[in-house]
Structures are given as structure tokens and as C-alpha cells.
């Protein structure tokens, strides 16, 4: 039996979710919370296996609550449930430790699938969230593809692979000083400082496939 806690600030939504989930033979809703602070207290008292976490709540939002919850008990699984379809919001809650994301409009079969996937140790994005992420990445790639030259994109791809300036120069048959110029141009155009931040930015924004 999967022990679930619902964290959602609208009582009507919580009631609908509880009713739906408790029709499943392998799911049990052991607690409900309408805000982040209550969720943290109940999690300590009742130790649910999985928390269905809303993002937009009064006080502590779902991202802050997830971060604090998992800092206290990293074994608990968190599945985000939200109206947001923005990739950055999705990425923020996943970075906080959530294992999956379901858009509220798809909170039927997708939510049940998401719960089972996360409990089994797999990540999960519902179809709407997955589409939002893919569309935003495509837009980012198109924008940055116009900003960066072909050579800059080649250099960036090799930087992300961990290549040194010398190795990049050998690979592209250019001077090492030219590689350094491309590095500086990349950081200037993408408005980041330092190679570590450049790599993080490239991965986060999906530029590694350019």
C-alpha cells in the first residue's frame, strides 16, 4: 500500500484527489495539508512514502516545502502537482528534489501513473509537462542558435564534454588562443561568468544538443 500525503491549499481539490486515489487498491491517503508548514509537521508525524505537492500555496510554496522536506527525510518521494506549464517552474521543483511533475488538468490517470512511477524509483513528467519542456527547449535553442556562431557552438559542445582549451584546439584544428577568444565570447553572449557556470547554463538551457 502506497502511503500518500496530499499538500494542496484548496480543500475541494484535496477532497477530489483523495476520493480518486483511494479508489486505487494500492493507494492510501494518510494525511492532507493546506500549506507548507503543516505539511512538514504531518510528514514528521506520519512518515508518508509519497507526497503529492502543489507549488502555489500561502506561506511556504511547494518548492521551498519540497526542499525542506527532503533535507529532513530524503527517502520520501515528492510528485509535484500544479497548474503551471512553464519549464522553469518545472525545473525549479525538480531541482528541489521532486521526482516527477503532473499538470492539474491531467490529474487523473496521469497522476496515478506518476505516483506508481515515482514509488518505483523512476522520474515522471505527464504529457503536458513533457511537451512544455520540449517546446521551451526548442525555443531556447532557436534563440541561442541565432546568437551563437557555428564555431562557438562547436566550442561550447566540447567545453561541456570537459575538453581543455588545448584539446579543443586540436579537435577543431584552430589555435588555442582562438579557443580562448570563443570562450570569452560565449560567456559574454550568454551572460555567465566562469567555465563551470557556462557548462551549467548550457546543460540547463538545452544548448548541448546544438
Please write the tens of the pLDDT for every residue from 86-100: 888 888 898 899 999
pLDDT by residue (tens digit) across 25-77?
A: 999 999 999 999 999 999 999 999 999 999 999 899 999 999 999 999 999 99
* Separation of alpha carbons 8 and 141, rounded Å: 35
- The Cβ of residue 177 has, within 10 Å, a number of other Cβ atoms equal to 9
Instruction: Count CA within 13 A, CB hemisphere, residue 69.
Output: 37
Burial class, 82, CB count within 10 angstroms (exposed 0-12 / middle 13-18 / buried 19+): buried
User: Is residue 9 within 8 Å of residue 34, measured between CB atoms?
Assistant: yes
- Pairwise pLDDT comparison (36 vs 133), residue with the higher score: 36
* Separation of alpha carbons 101 and 65, rounded Å: 15
Residue 210 has pLDDT above 50, yes or no: no
* Separation of alpha carbons 39 and 62, rounded Å: 10
Q: Could you tell me which residues come within 8 angstroms of residue 142 by beta carbon, excluding any fewer than 6 positions away?
A: none
Q: 3-state class of 162 per DSSP?
A: coil
Q: What is the pLDDT of residue 54?
A: 96
Burial class, 45, CB count within 10 angstroms (exposed 0-12 / middle 13-18 / buried 19+): exposed
Q: Which of 208, 140, 210, 149 is nearest to 182 (CA)?
A: 149
Amino acid at each position: 500500500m502506497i502511503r500518500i500525503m496530499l499538500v494542496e491549499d484548496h480543500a475541494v481539490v484535496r477532497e477530489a484527489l483523495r476520493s480518486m486515489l483511494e479508489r486505487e487498491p494500492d493507494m492510501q491517503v494518510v494525511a492532507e495539508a493546506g500549506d507548507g508548514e503543516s505539511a512538514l509537521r504531518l510528514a514528521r508525524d506520519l512518515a508518508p512514502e509519497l507526497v503529492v505537492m502543489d507549488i502555489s500555496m500561502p506561506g511556504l510554496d511547494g518548492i521551498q516545502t519540497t526542499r525542506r522536506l527532503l533535507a529532513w527525510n530524503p527517502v520520501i518521494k515528492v510528485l509535484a502537482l500544479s497548474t503551471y506549464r512553464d519549464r522553469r517552474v518545472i525545473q525549479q521543483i525538480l531541482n528541489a528534489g521532486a521526482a516527477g511533475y503532473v499538470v492539474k488538468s491531467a490529474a487523473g490517470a496521469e497522476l496515478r501513473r506518476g505516483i506508481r512511477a515515482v514509488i518505483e524509483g523512476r522520474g515522471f513528467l505527464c504529457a503536458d509537462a513533457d511537451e512544455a519542456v520540449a517546446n521551451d527547449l526548442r525555443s531556447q535553442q532557436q534563440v541561442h542558435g541565432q546568437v551563437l556562431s557555428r564555431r562557438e557552438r562547436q566550442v561550447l559542445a566540447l567545453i561541456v564534454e570537459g575538453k581543455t582549451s588545448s584539446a579543443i584546439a586540436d579537435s577543431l584544428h584552430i589555435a588555442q588562443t582562438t579557443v580562448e577568444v570563443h570562450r570569452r565570447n560565449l560567456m559574454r553572449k550568454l551572460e555567465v561568468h566562469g567555465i563551470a557556470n557556462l557548462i551549467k547554463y548550457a546543460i540547463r538551457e538545452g544548448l548541448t544538443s546544438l
